[in-house]
A = this chain, B = another copy of it.
Amino acid sequence: MLRFVTTNPGKLREARDYLDTEVEQLDYDYAEIQSDSLADIAAAGAREAHDVAGEPVIVDDSGLFIESLDGFPGPYSSYVEEKLGIERVSELALAEDTQRAAFRSVVAYADGETVETFPGGVEGTIVSPRGEGGFGFDPIFEHGGTTFAEMTTEEKNALSHRGRALAKFAEWYET
């Protein structure tokens, strides 16, 4: 049995889509460290969460990385979304020569003996906000001509950076 350490039940549902192993939520808000690296943040979180849970855990950390802004807002995407809002972030990117960006996610696994990390990503372009669905930076992230906020949940999940990380983890864990 595996614990997904998250306060977000939506993430648990997504994990169950990728894993044959039984997964239960551990609703624990571990302290995230400050780092440029999603992998370092997720690994430290998995280590801390395993200390609390005493059984194998996974955690994930995700962010929007804008190429022309050297990866900003990256691991601090939630903070920046809350403070600046997605309009200002879109304007910052639109003022640059390229609008290339990626949603990235890292799943980290810890069982007290080993800590392993599994990255996933999806490439896109920053645009002015369009669409009513999704959350976070979805309205300004375009992939294949459509923003993540214009897609159905199914369309978006099929592309999901977290899904790609979960699929890599499942392959490692279950084979």
A18 within 8 A of B: no
Asked if A79 and B36 sit within 8 Å, CB to CB, the answer is: yes
Asked if B72 and A80 sit within 8 Å, CB to CB, the answer is: yes
Q: How large is the interface on A (under 10, 10 to 19, 20 to 34, 35 or more residues)?
A: 20 to 34
Asked if B84 and A69 sit within 8 Å, CB to CB, the answer is: yes
A24 within 8 A of B: no
CB-CB contacts below 8 Å: A64-92 with B: 69-76, 79-80, 82-84, 88, 92
The CB with the most chain B CB atoms within 10 A, among A33, A34, A69, is that of: A34
A43-69 contact mask (Cβ, 8 Å, vs B): 1 or 0 = 010000000000000000000000001
Query: Secondary structure at chain A's binding surface: helix, strand, loop or mixed?
Result: mixed
Asked if A34 and B79 sit within 8 Å, CB to CB, the answer is: yes
The CB with the most chain B CB atoms within 10 A, among A36, A79, A88, is that of: A79
A116 within 8 A of B: no
A138 to chain B, nearest CB (A): 21
**Closest partner residue, chain B, to A44 (CB atom):** B31
Asked if A33 and B36 sit within 8 Å, CB to CB, the answer is: no
Asked if A70 and B92 sit within 8 Å, CB to CB, the answer is: no
In the bound complex, residues from chain B placing their C-beta under 8 Å from that of A80 are 72
Asked if B83 and A69 sit within 8 Å, CB to CB, the answer is: yes
Asked if A92 and B83 sit within 8 Å, CB to CB, the answer is: no
**Closest partner residue, chain B, to A72 (CB atom):** B83
Task: Among B33, B70, B75, point to the contact of A33 (Cβ < 8 A).
Answer: B33
Asked if B76 and A79 sit within 8 Å, CB to CB, the answer is: yes
8 nearest interchain CB pairs? A72-B83, A32-B34, A31-B33, A70-B83, A76-B76, A34-B34, A69-B83, A72-B84
